[in-house]
Amino acid sequence: MTLLLSAHTEALHAARTSGEFAAVISALDTDMNSAIGRKAELERAEDKAIFGDGDLAEVRADLAACISEIALYEKAIEGADIRRIEAAKNEAAIDIEALGKDAKAKAADLSKRWRRVAGLIEEVRGELFDCDALKRSLMATDGDFERARRPDLRINLNSVRREAMAGKRAAAPERLSRPAVLVDKTLLSFLSLGGPLDGRATVRASVNPTVRKGDTHHPSQVEEA
């Protein structure tokens, strides 16, 4: 028993985490299994000694010591397992607190990014308003060029927009929520042919295949994007 205490007591006293207690329990369990094996051998030796093959008193003394050793292992394992469970609970509580702090930090970052998105959207709206004013001004100027018989001075508004919006598009992340996918598609539609800002799409949507008699509306009079 003294050897048992000297072999495992230091490790038990030093253990703090659930993992450390589990390692000590594993070592105790290994030694206890060895003691159980010795107990079985001593029980067989006791049977032989009863019939004169060996010193019965010595065998029984060794058997009693072995049984006491096994009981000590069981008690040590039971106590270590209780401490392991307590340590695991404390670790779980610490993990939850850390998770809570991480969640708060992410929420603050999310709020900051949403504010930035809102600011960018407002900035884009302002730019679109200015683009629309410039576009309408250029459309009026194109009318002046037509009346002056100088179509060579006209500005192709679609070409201006498409050249300005040409370029590589960033790839969307693989794991993107459905609302984010829809928003991304909507934003990309403003940059694509046939999108809301494409004049040809506006013309196609505005042309009625059955023009009423007396209707003076003509597709060429529809605004360009």
Rounded Cα gap, residues 217 and 225, in angstroms? 18
Q: Which residue range(s) make up the domain with 66? A: 2-102
Q: What is the pLDDT of residue 3?
A: 55
> Could you tell me if residue 189 is inside a domain?
yes
Pair 92, 9 in one domain: yes
Q: Is the pLDDT at 221 greater than 60, yes or no? A: no
What does the mean pLDDT of the chain come to?
84
> Could you tell me if residue 223 is inside a domain?
yes
The sign of the CA dihedral 59, 64, 68, 71 is positive
Of 64, 87, 102, the position where a domain reaches its end is: 102
Of 85, 102, 119, the position where a domain reaches its end is: 102
> Could you tell me if residue 113 is inside a domain?
no
Of the listed ranges 8-12, 112-116, 165-169, 206-210, the one predicted with least confidence: 206-210
Residue located via tokens 């013309």 = 203
Can you state the percent helix, strand and coil of the chain, rounding each to 5? 75, 0, 25
Of 5, 20, 159, the C-alpha closest to 81 is: 20
pLDDT band (50, 70, 90) for residue 123: very high
Q: What is the mean pLDDT of residues 122-126?
A: 94
Report the number of distinct structural domains present in the chain.
Answer: 2
DSSP 175: S
Q: What is the mean pLDDT of residues 127-151?
A: 92
Report if pTM > 0.85: no
Q: What is the pLDDT of residue 54?
A: 84
Read off the pLDDT of residues 174-201 as tens digits, 9 standing for 90 and up. 888 999 999 999 988 888 877 887 765 4
Of 77, 102, 127, the position where a domain reaches its end is: 102
Q: Looking at per-residue confidence, does 200 or 71 come out higher? A: 71
Q: What is the pLDDT of residue 154?
A: 92
> Could you tell me if residue 212 is inside a domain?
yes
> Could you tell me if residue 115 is inside a domain?
no
3-state per-residue secondary structure call for 40-95: HHHHHHHHHHHCCCCCHHHHHHHHHHHHHHHHHHHHHHHHHHHHHHHHHHHHHHHH
> Could you tell me if residue 20 is inside a domain?
yes
pLDDT band (50, 70, 90) for residue 85: very high
